[in-house]
Amino acid sequence: MATLTVSGIASGIDYESLIQQLLEVDRVPVHRLERKKTAYEQKSAAYTDLSNKLEALESAADALRASTSFGGKEAAVSDEKIFTANVSSAAATGNYSITVNRLALAHKLKGASGLASADAAVAAGSGQFTFKLGDDGTEQTVDIDAGMTLQEFKNAINDLDAGIHAVIINDGTDTDPYQLILSSDETGADNKIIVTRDDTNLGLPVNDTDLTSAQHLQAPQDAEIVMDGLTVYRSGNTVTDLVPGASLFLQKADPTETVTLQVSEDREAVRESIEELVKSYNDVIQFINSRSNYDTEKNKADPLFGEGTVRSIERGMGRIVSTGVGGLPSDMKALSQIGITTERDGTLSLDEGKLQDALDENLEGVTNLFVNGESSEGVAEQLYQLANTATRSGDGYLAVRMDGLQDRVRAIDSKIELQEAMLDRMEERLRARFAALENLIGSIQSTNLSALYT
């Protein structure tokens, strides 16, 4: 709809300014609604931030509420140039003396004759090249014709995907420098390459099961390891069945060096998880404290001031960390006994030395203090349940409160829309009345002028 403009030429009145001033008086309720809407939106944003921090607390608590979280092991190797190690929680703690006498090796062999280039023919006529991996392996066949090049021959072997890999190297000699090298993909004495037929002119050793030919560049062999005086052999350099729950990665053989593998409880990981729980807890409390103040001078409240939902969560958290866990021995039932105490502002402080002593001297007791046990709900379990109840979608405390705030925002938007529509109609009426007044004044002025000149 076109807006009626009132000129004010006849009367000299600034109708546009007058109309806006009159409308502004009636817009006061709209401004009041807009302030309420802003306040609700700020509350909603604060609840979103609080939800994120509680989710972080939930995650940190989740990492400590199962006993398996405290059963981690760590490995220390006295010389990682010889081997490295990884251990699982199933590994038995203790020290192991290990010597690596030799590494497992893969079989490598080459032909007796090289070729002038990778594009040179491998045979004068048709035939076959057959081989197998190991004495009991399945025989593999490559059909050969007079036109097959060394490159094509190599590709045909690799395409069989038979556990044997072929490569071409240039050995740098002046005559026929291109050599075919065959290598077994797996290490170990049983993974030897046996050529059973060779109709090429490359001169690969045939049926040399004892590996007596000089064409064998590297004989396959098992790794030889001595652990605590017992000599064992393994086909690979990754050994997973020697120390229970441990994987050894052999790097170097040295029969003269005995390496110590120490498997111990991974208290460092537990300590870091507890520190993360304390940090996440403090993040929540500090956020609540920073958003729940009231400025008496400005008569202004922070977004979370007076919010019952927030106070309930804060009280619940404080109760969990300050109350002893039921069903546990008196010497290990409260966080204060492992160096975690509550400050005046509700945050937690951590005595790292006291925590480390507790982990070193009574890991089982620390575990029971946090986990969901048979007869008790530990601190981590309780904090997890509180945070989960608060943050879960749908019926979580924060979700319900945030939905309520959004409902209020939508209701205010509807009221503002109605108020604005009413103001638009009022503006139209004002413009029409002032236009009529302007016309009347203009008419009177015209009449007076006419009388003056008659």
Residue-wise pLDDT for 362-421, tens only, equals 988 999 999 876 667 899 999 999 999 999 888 878 887 877 778 787 888 788 788 877
Q: How far is Cα of residue 46 from the mean position of the Cα atoms in its chain?
A: 25
Give dist(CA 309, CA 400) in Å, integer. Answer: 10
Give dist(CA 220, CA 323) in Å, integer. Answer: 65
Residues 6+ apart with CB under 8 A from 98: 83, 225, 226, 227, 228, 248, 258, 259, 260, 261
| 161-190 pLDDT tens trace | 999 999 999 999 999 999 999 999 999 999
Residues 6+ apart with CB under 8 A from 328: 365, 368, 369, 376
Match 């240039």 to its residue by tokens. 170
> According to the model, what pLDDT value does residue 1 have?
45
Distances in whole angstroms, Cα of residue 383 to Cα of each of 48, 56, 84, 321, 390: 19, 11, 38, 9, 11
> According to the model, what pLDDT value does residue 5 have?
63
Q: How far is Cα of residue 45 from the mean position of the Cα atoms in its chain?
A: 25
Give dist(CA 260, CA 96) in Å, integer. Answer: 6
DSSP-derived letter for residue 335 is G
> According to the model, what pLDDT value does residue 434 have?
67
Q: Say what the pTM is.
A: 0.62
83: tokens are 């081997």
Residue 190: strand, helix, or coil? coil
CA angle 191, 248, 363 (to 5 degrees): 155
How deeply is 449 buried, as exposed, middle or buried, from its count of CB atoms within 10 A (0-12, 13-18, 19+)?
A: exposed
CB 220 within 8 A of CB 234: no
CA angle 41, 45, 51 (to 5 degrees): 140
Q: At what angle do helices 397-452 and 15-26 cross, to 10 degrees?
A: 150
Residue stretches of the chain with pLDDT short of 70: 1-15, 373-375, 434-435, 438, 442, 445-446, 448-454
Q: Rg of the chain over CA atoms, in angstroms?
A: 43
Q: How big is the chain, counted in residues?
A: 454
338: tokens are 């492992």
